[in-house]
Copies of this chain bind each other. A is one copy, B any other.
Amino acid sequence: MFFTPNPHSGVPIYLQLIGQVKHAIETGALKPGEQLPGIRKVAEDLVINPNTVAKAYRELEHAGVIELQQGLGAFVAENASKRSDQIRRAQPALRGAIDRMVNLGLSEEQMRRLFESELIRLREDAGEV
């Protein structure tokens, strides 16, 4: 399956879907021109309301990331490719850190909190320079 939103993260589902599509494109998992799964199919698979999926697709179209073609489906925009090899190069480091956290027994929530606190530190460091 393609999408895996987390209903307990506090982030609205449609925003999670948007993030996941963007991420898939950034990493090359989705290529320009490629077709996205249909709204109804996604909604059924995830047991959520089709409107929620539709809203995510609409915003993605509005952001120029995908193109919605009446009756045909949704496709990754040709010029959407902010695909970044940097991200794929960064992945191993992050995966290593996550493995470390998992081995230390941290819960997903704790990992997320630690991650966010480090991002905050980043912002503060940047601000102080």
Contact check, A117 vs B12: say whether CB atoms are below 8 A apart: no
Residue with the highest number of chain B CB atoms closer than 10 Å, among A23, A86, A91, A105:
A23
Q: B118–A90 contact, CB under 8 A?
A: no
Neighbouring B residues of A90 by C-beta, 8 Å = 97, 100-101, 104, 106, 111, 114
Residues in chain B near residue A86, CB distance under 8 A: 104-106
A117 to B9, CA, bound (A): 13
A98 contacts partner chain B, Cβ-Cβ < 8 Å: yes
B95 engages A118 (CB within 8 Å):
yes
**Hey, which chain B residues are within 8 Å of A122, CB to CB?**
98, 102, 108
Cα A4 to Cα B123 in complex, Å, equals 10
Which residues on B sit within 8 Å (CB–CB) of A111? 90, 119
A45 at the binding interface (Cβ < 8 Å): no
Q: Which has the most chain B C-beta neighbours within 10 Å: A49, A89, A113?
A: A113
Q: Is the CB of B22 within 8 A of A113?
A: yes
Closest to A113 in B: B23
A19 beta carbon closer than 8 Å to chain B? yes
Q: Which residues of B contact A97 (CB under 8 A)?
A: 90, 93-94, 96-97
Which residue from chain B places its CB closest to the CB of A62 in the assembled complex? B62
Cβ of A20 < 8 Å from any Cβ of B?
yes
